[in-house]
Structure 1
Amino acid sequence: MNPFEDMRIFCQVMDSGSFTAAADQLGLSKQFVSRRLMQLEERLGVRLLNRSTRRLDVTPLGQSYYESALRLLGEVEQVEQGIAGQTTEPRGTIRLSAPLSFALAHLGCLLPVFLQRYRDVSVEVDLSDRPVDLLGEGYDLALRIGVLEDSTLIARRIASIKRVYCASPDYLAERGTPNKPEDLLNHDCLPYGHGRQVQWRFDGPGKPLTVNVTGRMRVNNGDVLRDAAVAGMGVTYLPTFIVGAALKEGRLVPVLEDFSPEPLTLSAVYPQHRQGSRPVQAFIEFLRERLDQTQGVL
C-alpha cells in the first residue's frame, strides 16, 4: 500500500475525466488504475467516485479528498525539488500548447534562449489554434489569447495583444475605405474562424457596436488571412504580431482606427497540480520578462 501513489492515481483520474485517459497518462493499465481506486475507497470506507458506463461523477467526499490530495502532492513535490537542489535550477519536461501564429512570431526565437538558460529543462510544443484539454491531454501549460472560460485552471497574464482592422491599398482603391463599422456591410471581409455568422466588435464614440461580417474566405489561421488581405481579398481584423510587418511595409493599410476595441490578453494557463512545478513557473516568468520588453503590448 502506497497512499501517496493512490493519491496520485486518483488525482490523475479526476484531472483526465476517465480511467482510460488517466491510465494512458500514467503509463498503467486501465484495470490496474480501477483496482487501485477501489482499494483506496475500501481503505477509506467511503465512495469517492460514482461510476457509470458514460462518465465518472465525483462525490462530495471525493472532491474534498481530491483538493487535499493535490495540496499534499504539491508539498511533497516541493520538498523533493528542494532536496534535489531544483529550487534554483528547474529540471524536467514541459508539455506546452500554443497558438500557431503566435508561436511562429515569438516562440521560435524565445524557446532557444529559454533552453540555453535552463540546461536541464526540455520542451515539447504542440502548435494549434484549438483550445486543448490540458487535463485530459496531459499538457503542463498552454498559452491562450482572449477571454478565458471559467475553469479550475490557474491563469497568469503574460502580455496584451493589440488588433487592427486593415486591407490592401489596391482593395481600398477599388472598393473604397470604410469610415464607420456599418460600412463593412458593403465590403468583403476576411473573418477568423468558422461558423455561419461572425461578428466584429467595435468601440468608439457612443456604445459598443457589433457588425455581422461576411466574405468569400474564412480561415482559422491568421497568417493565411493576412496573406489573403495583402492579395486584395478584403478587410481583415488581426493581431499586430501577424500583420505588423505588412503594415510597416505598406502592403496593408489600417482602417477604422477610431473604433478599435481593447487589446486581448495573452495568458498562461496550467492545472492546479502544476503550480509547484519549477520548469512551468520558470517558463512563465521568462515569457513575462522577455515580452515585457515590448511594454507588454504585442
Structure 2
Amino acid sequence: MLDDIALFVHVAQARSLTGAGAALSLPAATVTRRLQRLEDKLGHQLVHRSARKFGLTSEGEAYFQAFAGIVEQAEVTARNLSAEMHELSGPLVVAAPTNISVGALQPMWTAFMRRHPGIRLDLRLSNFNIDLLEDRIDLALRIGPQQDQRLYQKKMGSISTAVMAAPSYLEGGNMPEGPNDLERHAIIAVRTIPAWRLSHKLTGSTCVLHLKGDVIVDDIALVRQFAEDGFGVCLLSVTEAAEPLEQGRLKLLLPDWQGQQRDIYAVWPTGRLLSARAKCLREFMRIYLAERPVFQGQLPTVSTLI
C-alpha cells in the first residue's frame, strides 16, 4: 500500500497518469491498475479521470497534502542510502578478535586504511564473539566456523597450531620425541581447549591428548608469555608465536606433528546487504591472507624447529 501511495503522489505531481508512468518507468496500464487498487482499499476516489482534464477529488487533495512530503523525504533518504551503499567512503563497523588483530593482522588494518582513507574504520576488538545484529556490525572476522544461522560466512584462510616451548625450558635435554611424551612435561593450557588434537603430517594419523595443565589461562597472549618465560610446553597458533619463533625465544617441538588448523572467516548478518565498504574490506582481507603462507595453514621454516 505504501508503494501505491507513493505512486499516487507522483500522479498528482505529474497531473497525468501517463506522465507519472514515464517518471517511474511504468506502463500507463500499470499506473491505472495500481491507482484503482489504492482507491478500492481507501474506499475513496482520488483522481477525476477525464481524457481532457486532470484533477484530484477532495479526498485526493487531502491525501496528497498528507503524504507528499513524507514520500519525498523517503525517496531522498533511499537515494542517499543507495549512494552510501556504493561509495568507498563513510563509516565501516568491524568486529575482530583482539589478539590476532593487534598482533599478526595489525599490518593488514594499517594497509587497508592507507589504501582507503575515505573509510572511517570503527574496529571493535574482543576475544569473545560480539552479537553482530545487536551491535550493528557491518563485517566481522572470526576464527572457526560459525553455528549461528543468522550469519553468512566465507572462509578467508587458516592458521596452523603447533607444540612449542622456550629454549630455557628445554635446557635439561628432556626433549619429547612423540605426543605421548608430553604427559611428563609441564603444560601451559588454555581453559577453552580441553584436549590437544595432533595430526601426523605424513601419515595423517591423529592423537588426542587430555593433558593436565600446570598453568591454566584463558588468554592466548598470556600462554605465549608464560611459554617464553620457560614455564612449560604449549600448543599455540603460529601467528601468535611468529615473533618469538623468529627471534628464537620459542622453538617448535615434534616437527612431524601439528595441532588443529584454525580457519579464518569473514562473517556478516544474513538479513543485511553488504555495503561497498564492507565488500571492499572482505576482498582486501581475502587477498592479504592469500598472499601470506602463514595464513594459509603453513608452518614456519625449519630454522625454528628443534
2:108 to 107, 110, 130: 110
For 2:296, the equivalent position in structure 1 comes to 297
- 3-state SS in 2 of match to 1:169: coil
Alpha-carbon contact 1:153-1:271 (below 8 Å) kept: yes
For 1:34, the equivalent position in structure 2 comes to none
What's the offset of the Cα at 1:268? 0.9
- 3-state SS in 1 of match to 2:210: strand
Alpha-carbon contact 2:235-2:259 (below 8 Å) kept: no
RMSD between superposed Cα atoms in Å:
2.8
1:144 to 124, 142, 145: 142
After TM superposition, the structure 1 = structure 2 runs for residues 83-122 of structure 1, keeping only pairs within 5 Å, are 84=83, 87=86, 89-122=87-120
The CA deviation string for residues 138-181 of structure 1, in whole angstroms up to 9 with x for no partner, is 22222111233252211111122121110012212237121222
CA distance change for structure 1 residues 175 and 122 in 2, over 3 Å: closer, same or farther? same
> Matched residues in 1 for 2:79 and 2:271: separation?
15
> Matched residues in 2 for 1:275 and 1:256: separation?
46
After TM superposition, the score normalised by the length of structure 1 is 0.66
Alpha-carbon contact 1:198-1:214 (below 8 Å) kept: no
> Matched residues in 1 for 2:136 and 2:81: separation?
25
> Matched residues in 1 for 2:148 and 2:249: separation?
39
Alpha-carbon contact 2:95-2:139 (below 8 Å) kept: yes
- 3-state SS in 1 of match to 2:230: coil
What's the offset of the Cα at 1:285? 0.6
Give unmatched runs, 5+ long, in structure 1.
Answer: 4-42, 44-75
1:168 maps onto 2:176 in alignment:
no
For 2:276, the equivalent position in structure 1 comes to 278
> Matched residues in 2 for 1:85 and 1:201: separation?
46
Alpha-carbon contact 2:145-2:265 (below 8 Å) kept: no
After TM superposition, the structure 1 = structure 2 runs for residues 46-125 of structure 1, keeping only pairs within 5 Å, are 80=79, 84=83, 87=86, 89-125=87-123
- 3-state SS in 2 of match to 1:233: coil
Give unmatched runs, 5+ long, in structure 2.
Answer: 4-40, 42-74, 298-306
Amino acid at match of 2:138: D
CA distance change for structure 1 residues 131 and 84 in 2, over 3 Å: closer, same or farther? closer
> Matched residues in 1 for 2:138 and 2:175: separation?
45
Where has structure 1 moved over 6 Å in runs of 4 or more? none
2:130 to 129, 132, 143: 132
Q: Which has the higher helix share?
A: 1
CA distance change for structure 1 residues 80 and 119 in 2, over 3 Å: closer, same or farther? farther
1:256 maps onto 2:251 in alignment:
no
> Matched residues in 2 for 1:226 and 1:85: separation?
43
Alpha-carbon contact 1:274-1:280 (below 8 Å) kept: no
The CA deviation string for residues 92-136 of structure 1, in whole angstroms up to 9 with x for no partner, is 322222111110124432223322332332121121111222123
> Matched residues in 2 for 1:93 and 1:193: separation?
36
What's the offset of the Cα at 1:223? 1.8
For 2:177, the equivalent position in structure 1 comes to 179
Amino acid at match of 2:115: R
> Matched residues in 2 for 1:101 and 1:121: separation?
23
CA distance change for structure 1 residues 206 and 138 in 2, over 3 Å: closer, same or farther? closer
What's the offset of the Cα at 1:85? 7.5
The count of corresponding residues between Structure 1 and Structure 2 is 222
1:200 maps onto 2:196 in alignment:
yes
Amino acid at match of 2:219: N
Q: Looking at CA atoms only, which structure, 1 or 2, has the larger radius of gyration?
A: 2
CA distance change for structure 1 residues 206 and 161 in 2, over 3 Å: closer, same or farther? closer
CA distance change for structure 1 residues 193 and 143 in 2, over 3 Å: closer, same or farther? farther
> Matched residues in 2 for 1:269 and 1:242: separation?
22
For 1:9, the equivalent position in structure 2 comes to none
Alpha-carbon contact 2:156-2:266 (below 8 Å) kept: yes
What's the offset of the Cα at 1:284? 0.7
After TM superposition, the score normalised by the length of structure 2 is 0.64
